């Protein structure tokens, strides 16, 4: 009996700990010389290898979490209840699986969601972008039905899939796609070739169909009506854009995972080339020198292997709980467990290329994705434990 009581006490203490904020962040190396904003991470619920966090539009207590193995869950932050919205059959191999989701910008009037996943097929690796209708749309009975496949892209390897979907204020769907691997060097030069969708940011109109496709091409896309260039492309030169989002001024911020030297954040504009695989950040990659003769858009921010090895893009904080974070872009690193915030300074409507970086801390987690609720508060997922955290005041 004493043994049973000990186990029960241990379990109870573990549960109590799990509900307390994790306030003991570590500050090391370069972060010691940076400005610091103290935050805590409050654990909410656990999942299995989470890849994306979304919120039902306009309802900050209705969270949606994606798992790499193909499941989409709804979660009530009021009573901790949860339920399954959709389960799709996916290939879970390295960086493949269920990777991203977006609500239609007119949700719930248009009760549709869009997902990016790698379907389980016997003959080929593929990325699939598809539309699902939610019926009904009430949280605790919400389920996805009737898939409409918008776009299918063949993939050469299990690596560098990108995966994020996001709607812009223009109503168009933006899609982040990596170079497709193999792991090193972009041997097919997908980042630079305009006859492949790999290594690109795409922009499509999901509300119209044209030219035999399940979508149409916005007339302002930069490579439209060109013979050898794909019109879906919005920008090029990316290795693995893992998480993309728009800031309050409608600027698209992309976190592009590097290879051996640099991690970078880019402010992406139509038609621009962000360098991969000729450059990695500002550093020459292929060739290893004399790459300055070509014109590429400069990274907004970059860091080296001292700080981490896999940048994870986030969101601009627009909440009210942490005044010091207001208007700053929060992001992290999968390898080092660091979180940072970056000032969005504006000069003649263009961001400074040397933004001020604030250290939020270092935790023993592998941050895989961020989310932002309707109140502007930020959430972050730990891939290893599956825990979803809310970023709270220290």
Question: What would the DSSP string read from start to end of 95-128?
Answer: T-SEEEEEE-TTTTTS-EEEEEE-B--SS--EEE
Mean pLDDT of 202-223: 97
Range of the domain at 122: 44-306
pLDDT band at 368 (very low <50, low <70, confident <90, very high): very high
Number of domains in the chain: 1
Q: Would you call the peptide bond into 75 cis, given omega within 30 degrees of 0 as the criterion?
A: no
pLDDT at 353: 60
8-17, 83-92, 215-224, 300-309: least confident range: 8-17
Would 153 be classed as within a structural domain?
yes
Highest-confidence segment of 77-81, 181-185, 285-289 = 77-81
Would 389 be classed as within a structural domain?
no
Would 383 be classed as within a structural domain?
no
What is the residue whose two structure tokens read 């090029």?
A: 236
pLDDT at 4: 34
Residue 207 clears pLDDT 70, i.e. is over it: yes
Q: What is the pTM of this model?
A: 0.93
pLDDT band at 69 (very low <50, low <70, confident <90, very high): very high
Would 99 be classed as within a structural domain?
yes
Strand, coil or helix: 270: coil
Mean pLDDT of 218-246: 97
DSSP 41-102: EEEEEE-SSEEEEEE-TT-TTEEEEEETTSEEEEEETTT--EEEEEE--B--STT-SEEEEE
pLDDT tens-digit series, residues 255-273: 999 999 999 999 999 999 9
Residue 61 clears pLDDT 60, i.e. is over it: yes
Mean pLDDT of the chain: 90
Q: Counting beta carbons within 10 angstroms of the beta carbon of residue 30, is it exposed (0 to 12), middle (13 to 18) or buried (19 or more)?
A: middle
CATH number (domain holding residue 258): 2.120.10.30
Mean pLDDT of 65-88: 96
Would 195 be classed as within a structural domain?
yes
Provide the Cα torsion 321, 59, 328, 38; round to 10°: 40
Would 352 be classed as within a structural domain?
no
Would 271 be classed as within a structural domain?
yes
Would 228 be classed as within a structural domain?
yes
């Amino acid at each position: 009996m004493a043994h049973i009581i000990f186990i029960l006490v241990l379990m109870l203490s573990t549960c109590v700990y799990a509900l307390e904020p994790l306030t003991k962040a570590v500050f090391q190396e370069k972060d010691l010389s940076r400005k610091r904003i103290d935050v805590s991470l409050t654990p909410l619920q656990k999942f299995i290898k989470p890849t994306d966090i979304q919120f039902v539009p306009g309802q900050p207590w209705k969270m949606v979490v994606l798992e790499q193995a193909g499941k989409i869950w709804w979660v009530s932050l009021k009573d901790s209840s949860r339920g399954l919205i959709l389960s799709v059959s996916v290939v879970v191999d390295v960086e493949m699986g269920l990777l991203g989701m977006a609500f239609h910008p007119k949700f719930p009037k248009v009760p549709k969601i869009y997902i990016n996943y790698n379907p389980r097929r016997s003959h080929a690796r593929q990325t699939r972008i598809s539309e699902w209708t939610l019926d009904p749309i009430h949280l605790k009975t919400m389920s996805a039905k009737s898939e409409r496949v918008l776009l299918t892209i063949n993939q050469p390897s299990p690596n560098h899939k990108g995966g994020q979907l996001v709607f812009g204020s223009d109503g168009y769907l933006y899609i982040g796609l990596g170079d497709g691997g193999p792991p090193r060097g972009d041997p097919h030069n997908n980042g630079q070739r305009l006859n492949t969708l790999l290594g690109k940011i795409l922009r499509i109109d999901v509300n119209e169909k044209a030219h035999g496709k399940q979508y149409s091409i916005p007339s302002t896309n930069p490579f439209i009506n060109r013979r050898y260039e794909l019109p879906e492309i919005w920008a090029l030169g990316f290795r693995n854009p893992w998480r993309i989002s728009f800031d309050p001024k409608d600027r698209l911020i992309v976190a592009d995972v590097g290879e051996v030297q640099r991690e970078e954040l880019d402010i992406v504009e139509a038609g621009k080339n962000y360098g991969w695989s000729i450059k990695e950040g500002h550093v020459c990659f292929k060739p290893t020198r004399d790459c300055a003769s070509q014109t590429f858009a400069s990274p907004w921010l970059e860091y080296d292997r001292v700080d981490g090895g896999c940048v994870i893009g986030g969101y601009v904080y627009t909440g009210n709980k942490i005044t010091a974070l207001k208007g700053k872009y929060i992001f992290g690193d999968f390898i080092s467990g660091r979180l940072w915030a970056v000032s969005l300074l504006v000069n003649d409507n263009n961001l400074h290329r040397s933004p001020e970086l604030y250290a939020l801390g270092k935790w023993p987690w592998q941050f895989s994705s961020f989310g932002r609720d309707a109140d502007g508060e930020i959430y972050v997922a730990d891939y290893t434990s599956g825990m979803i955290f809310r970023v709270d005041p220290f």
